[in-house]
Amino acid sequence: MAELQQNFTVTIHGGLHARPASELVGIAKSFHSKIEILRDGKVANAKSPVKILLLGVREGDSITVMIDGDDAADAMARVSTFFEAGDNENTPPAAEGGAAAKPTAPITIEAAKAATPTHGIGASEGAAEGVAYHFFQSPLPDPSSLPALEVKGNSKEQELARYRNALARSSDEINARAKDDDPTGAEIVAALSEIAGDEEWQEQVTAHIRAGACALKAVLISGEETARSVEALDDPYARARAEDIRAVMRIIAFTLMGKELPSLDRVPYGAIVVAEEITALDLSTADLSRIGGLLCQKGASTSHAAIVSRAHGIPAVFGFEVSAAKLQRVSYVALDGSSGEVVLDPSEEVIARYRASIDAERQIAKQRLAFKEVQPVTKDGREITIAANIGSLGEIKAAKENGAMGVGLFRTELLFMDRRELPTEDEQLAIYEVALRAFEGQDVIIRTLDIGGDKPLRGVEFPAEENPFLGWRGIRMCLDTPSIFKPQLRALLRAAPAGKLKVMLPMVSDIEEVRATKQLIDECIMELDAEGKPYARFDLGIMVETPAAVLAAELFAKEVAFFSIGTNDLTQYVMAADRMNPTVAKLYKTDNAAVLNAVSLVCLAAQSAGIWVGVCGEAAANPDLARKFIERGVTELSMSPASILRAKQVVCEL
Ligand code: PEP
Ligand code: MG
């Protein structure tokens, strides 16, 4: 049982007149809890439309909502949404007679329609339509709204026992989230579990209970105090733990309230998950095969959740800027993860259009399955490798199901960014070995850490930069930070015996960067020899993604084993057009003659030195561009797993 109360200022046009009053009553009746509205000393039962009307709540009035019952927190969240949405989200009162009043409703409806965007960011290709599955985190009760319980004598002991019991169940709940095949998720889980077991925090909660607070209030107050004191620290790594403390506090609070945490493990088959935000951790508890699509208010196409959805072929639109209140009212969604189009509560015609395009996509996908085992060769006899871009071990399955002929780009930064602490050498070794063994007999190209500027790393202080894309990132940052770079190189050397490992360096612009890396590798080898640890050497290549690497390709080709062209960055640097800036998107074109000439220069330099060239930027998955790259001499294309079968077909038809 929980008792909550919260104050609101009514912003609904005309106050709680018949229509909003009946909406509020409808909301109140959908919960078991007792819900009352207090205004000017008068109280009304929110489940009674008459009582609410008699209360005479006007626009601008201050009211207090009091809720008591086992679903009080959910009810308060829903009631808050109702009041906070105010006039924007609630239909104004019908005008009282007279032609002059008539335009009010249609104008408002049109304005509301105009305010709803039609597109978000296409984060994972494909069309989807289905019922909306709402995945919203309910707000926690405000501790000051919890009544001061007079917990005395035995009841204090009971309250302490309730807390200890909730803590134990929360720890089990946290640990149950770890999945054996997902080391990244497991690491996050371990960090949360550690926080739940923090003795100092437990002592604080106990002290609050002994001082007379109920267990829920004690957990909320001490959790927030601990999170705030950690936030005040200088160290960015320590600061990031405040977020973990709040996550654990939420789990314990939900357990105390007898409520289940929202989870994605029971999504109805084919439903579209609608959320404010979805994290990779949320997806880690989901049965992804049940999810028809994802629609999120926040997020970008480069987020880890987007990468996971692409890897599993789940259509997704992120960054769809509609209020959470509005998203919570949606019951059906159609979306297109390629164009970013979203239709909320679509008409029958729109649903029919979407179903037709989903059927067409399925037909094509079925036909393409025939290419899964194909080793693509162009009609003039050139063998082309179609490999996968991955960012975690969780994506290996999708890569293999789609016929990947190895890994052309393993972005290791996700291993570093998603964790609470930098991964140790041994942890990295274990991850690289799993990837190498999964692609036995096929090349696995692991890229060393490409981080910095726009992609900060927990525990590493980055300077503020005016132009992060021209700043301290990739190989520049790694060479300046051997404490991070060397464990990665050592882990790679130690993993090499497990398969056909190749390693490449990101953001290279000067041959000295390659030479310095080779020197570090030699140092690591000497250390491993001295420690008696087994290892093997690997081919070292570079990403060609800066104009400097293109213009000095002949020089680089003499000192590295292969080139992999990163068209995402190469396009932005050749065209001087930020890859994230939509205002210059018309210049950010990989098919511009300048970028294609750069690709030609790289291929010519590679041919004369006898090394091979691949492309691992997004453009590799574009059929027209793939043809242009192959014409110029590229022999490997690496892309998201979902694009591999199409690419194999394209090559065979060249
Ligand atoms: C690229 O720049 O093309 C590339 C593959 O690297 P990233 O997208 O990770 O910068
Ligand atoms: Mg790049």
Distance of alpha carbon 527 from alpha carbon 482, whole angstroms? 14
Query: How do beta strands 62-69 and 34-39 pair?
Result: antiparallel
Identify the pLDDT of residue 263: 78
Is there a shared CATH topology between the 2-85 domain and the 118-137+263-369 domain?
no
**CB of 413 closer than 6 A to ligand 1?**
no
- Determine whether domain 2-85 maps to CATH 3.40.50.300: no
Residue nearest to atom 7 of ligand 1 (CA): 568
Identify the pLDDT of residue 99: 28
Q: Of 396, 403, 356, nearest to 376 (Cα)?
A: 403
**CB of 391 closer than 6 A to ligand 1?**
no
**b/e per residue 444-476 (b: at least 16 CB within 10 A):** bbbbbbbbbbebebbbbebeeeeebbebebbbb
Higher pLDDT: 572 or 463? It is 572
Q: CATH code for 118-137+263-369?
A: 3.50.30.10
Q: What are phi and psi of 265, to 5 degrees?
A: -85, -5
Identify the pLDDT of residue 334: 97
Distance of alpha carbon 323 from alpha carbon 300, whole angstroms? 17
Mean pLDDT taken over the chain: 84
Residue nearest to atom 3 of ligand 1 (CA): 566
Query: How do beta strands 316-318 and 332-336 pair?
Result: unpaired
Query: How do beta strands 271-275 and 127-135 pair?
Result: parallel
Q: What is the mean pLDDT of residues 624-629?
A: 96
**pLDDT at 607 > cutoff 90:** yes
**CB of 167 closer than 6 A to ligand 1?**
no
Identify the pLDDT of residue 402: 93
Identify the pLDDT of residue 468: 83
**CB of 617 closer than 6 A to ligand 1?**
yes
> What's at 482, amino acid-wise?
P
Identify the pLDDT of residue 578: 85
Tokens representing 342? 């979203």
Which ligand 1 atom sits nearest the alpha carbon of residue 409?
Answer: 5
Ligand nearest to the CA of 412: 1
Lowest-pLDDT range of 217-226, 429-438, 595-604: 217-226
Residue nearest to atom 6 of ligand 1 (CA): 566
Catalytically active residues are: 304, 616
Identify the pLDDT of residue 552: 98
Which ligand 1 atom sits nearest the alpha carbon of residue 567?
Answer: 3
**pLDDT at 49 > cutoff 70:** no
Q: Pick the most confident of 47-56, 218-227, 283-292.
A: 218-227
Q: Of 649, 643, 622, 638, nearest to 386 (Cα)?
A: 638
Residue nearest to atom 4 of ligand 1 (CA): 566
Q: What is the mean pLDDT of residues 435-456?
A: 88
**CB of 568 closer than 6 A to ligand 1?**
yes
Please report where in the chains the tokens 């996908």 appear, as a residue.
365
pLDDT tens-digit readout, 511-564: 999 999 999 999 999 999 999 999 999 999 999 999 999 999 999 999 999 999
* Ranges of each domain in the chain: 2-85, 118-137+263-369, 143-257, 385-652
Domain 143-257 -> CATH class: mainly alpha
CA of 235 to the centre of ligand 2 (A): 28
Q: Which positions ≥6 away from 133 have C-beta within 8 Å?
A: 267, 268, 271, 272, 273, 274
Tokens representing 28? 């109140």
3-state helix, strand, coil in the chain (%, to 5): 50, 15, 35
Whether residue 341 contacts residue 350, with contact meaning beta carbons closer than 8 Å, is answered with no
Higher pLDDT: 485 or 2? It is 485
The share of the chain scoring above pLDDT 70, in percent, equals 84
Ligand nearest to the CA of 616: 1
pLDDT tens-digit readout, 460-469: 777 888 888 8
CA of 506 to the centre of ligand 1 (A): 8
Identify the pLDDT of residue 188: 57
- Ligand 1 pocket test: pick from 415, 417, 545, 615 the residue with the most ligand atoms within 8 Å of its Cβ: 545
Identify the pLDDT of residue 239: 55
Whether residue 415 contacts residue 423, with contact meaning beta carbons closer than 8 Å, is answered with yes
**b/e per residue 542-556 (b: at least 16 CB within 10 A):** bbbbbeebbebbeeb
pLDDT tens-digit readout, 480-513: 999 999 999 999 999 999 999 999 999 999 999 9
Q: What is the dihedral sign for C-alpha 407, 122, 543, 594?
A: positive
**pLDDT at 106 > cutoff 60:** no
Q: What is the DSSP letter of 286?
A: S
pLDDT tens-digit readout, 58-89: 778 888 888 888 888 888 888 888 887 765 44
**b/e per residue 122-146 (b: at least 16 CB within 10 A):** bbbbbbbbbebbbbbebebbebebb
CA of 386 to the centre of ligand 2 (A): 19
Identify the pLDDT of residue 93: 35
Crossing angle of the two packed helices 215-231 and 153-175, in degrees rounded to 10: 60
Whether residue 535 contacts residue 501, with contact meaning beta carbons closer than 8 Å, is answered with no
Q: Pick the most confident of 236-240, 423-427, 515-519.
A: 515-519
**CB of 566 closer than 6 A to ligand 1?**
yes
Identify the pLDDT of residue 89: 40
Higher pLDDT: 31 or 587? It is 587
Lowest-pLDDT range of 167-176, 321-330, 472-481: 167-176
**pLDDT at 102 > cutoff 60:** no
Helices (H), 31-103: 49-55, 72-89
Distance of alpha carbon 252 from alpha carbon 205, whole angstroms? 12
Higher pLDDT: 361 or 550? It is 550
Cα–Cα distances in angstroms (integers) from residue 57 to residues 91, 168, 611, in the given order: 16, 45, 78
Distance of alpha carbon 87 from alpha carbon 405, whole angstroms? 56
**b/e per residue 398-426 (b: at least 16 CB within 10 A):** bbeebbbbbbbbbbbbbbbbbbbebbebe
Which ligand 1 atom sits nearest the alpha carbon of residue 618?
Answer: 3
**CB of 505 closer than 6 A to ligand 1?**
no
pLDDT tens-digit readout, 377-410: 999 999 999 999 998 888 898 899 999 999 999 9
CA of 278 to the centre of ligand 2 (A): 25
Residue 230's Cβ-count burial label (10 Å; 0-12, 13-18, 19+) is middle
Q: Pick the most confident of 167-171, 306-310, 554-558.
A: 554-558
Q: Of 329, 413, 343, 356, nearest to 23 (Cα)?
A: 329
**CB of 473 closer than 6 A to ligand 1?**
no
Whether residue 343 contacts residue 335, with contact meaning beta carbons closer than 8 Å, is answered with yes
Identify the pLDDT of residue 23: 76
Confidence of residue 138 (pLDDT cuts 50, 70, 90): confident
Identify the pLDDT of residue 41: 75
Beta partners for 473? 452
Domain 385-652 -> CATH class: alpha beta
